[in-house]
Amino acid sequence: MLPRLGLLARIAGRRWSIETNFQHANGIAVRRHPTEWMFPNLDFTVHLHRQPRGPWTGLDTTVTFGPNGQGLTSTTLHDLNGPLGAAQQTLTVRPLH
């Protein structure tokens, strides 16, 4: 018997393809060249105020880097009916060289 999946697991794993999965918001609006800087997320939080409808999703993403190696990716999640939630990722910003 398969374990019961929560709403977020069902959405991330089945409803949206990997190309449109909201985990990828961090790479959409980069602030530094990715061959010179790394900015992995340290955590990932999603809040949904309704279930997504239909096969299409949109990400309205902004990225902010602070002066001391910290950053934040903020994303409003959309489907064809409008906003459905938000995602936040705390970043660590480090040069590669």
How many domains is the chain partitioned into structurally? 1
CA nearest to 75, candidates 19, 33, 29, 32 = 29
CA-CA-CA-CA dihedral for 25, 48, 77, 71, to nearest 10: -40
Is residue 60 one of the residues assigned to a domain?
yes
Q: Is residue 28 a part of any domain in this protein? A: yes
pLDDT in tens, the chain (97 residues): 444 445 554 455 444 443 345 655 666 666 677 788 888 888 888 888 998 888 778 888 888 999 999 999 898 988 889 999 998 999 998 988 8
pTM: 0.69
Tell me the three state secondary structure of residue 8: helix
Examine residue 1 and state whether it is found in any structural domain, yes or no: no
Query: Residue 75 sits in a domain of what CATH number?
Result: 3.10.129.10
Q: How do residues 21-49 score in pLDDT, each as one tens digit?
A: 565 566 666 667 778 888 888 888 888 89
What is the pLDDT at residue 81?
A: 93
Asked whether residue 59 is assigned to any structural domain, the reply reads yes
Residue 17 lies in domain: 7-95
